Amino acid sequence: MSSEDRDHDPLARLAALLGRLPGIGEKSALRLALALVRAEPEYVAKLVEAIAGVQTRLRLCEICCDLSSSEICSRCKDVRRDHKLICVVAQPQDRMALERTGIYRGLYHVLHGVLDPRANVGPADIQVGALLKRLSPAHGSEPVQEIIVATSPNLEGDSTALYLARLIAPLGVRVTRIASGVAVGGELEYADVTTLHRALEERRVL
Ligand SMILES: [Zn+2]
């Protein structure tokens, strides 16, 4: 089907758009599009609203850079959390995976990427500056005592952790790394609760 035909065929157009999402192949995209054709109109209306709102109603938390519906996210506002501890993750889904374990009660910082020279991703392209800002004594809040770097145990994750350690350790803040070799398969977001628990418990100083 040419792109012009697709523009005139609502089903093909929807399937083509859905197929651009990660992990959705051509067949899945068509299956989803067909399910929407048959779905209750109220459900479709809610879905449309949710999709539209995901960009307009979400922003980055001014402190931790995680996705948030308000200026400061609920985790940064939570006084029951340990504000002396910051766990640094690459993506919001990594924070969500750690939060699911229920064992970590400190704060987070979301980098939105890792250092990757081959893809031209440098420190200025991820949220390193915002992290440093949280460590400056002038910030006013409780001084941070430990940064736990929880990037995935692969080349980019490891070099990001080392970079942060070199940058932050001279400021007198302890920098630790979640235990590598514990996370089977490598990607933090797919690790199970027991694995993440061990990775956190067995963290080492960088
Ligand atoms: Zn926050």
Residues bordering ligand 1, an ion, CB closer than 5 Å: 61, 63-64, 73, 76
The CA 163 to ligand 1 mean position distance, Å, reads: 23
Q: What is the mean pLDDT of residues 1-26?
A: 86
Per-residue pLDDT tens digits for 94-108:
999 889 888 899 999
- Give the predicted TM-score (pTM) of the model: 0.82
Share of the chain above pLDDT 70, in %: 90
The CA 28 to ligand 1 mean position distance, Å, reads: 35
- On the question of pLDDT at 10 being above 80, the answer is yes
What stretches of 49-202 adopt beta strand conformation (E)? 59-60, 67-68, 82-89, 106-110, 146-149, 174-177
- The pLDDT, as a whole number, for residue 181 is 59
C-alpha distances in angstroms, 59 versus 8, 86, 93, 128, 133? 35, 20, 15, 18, 19
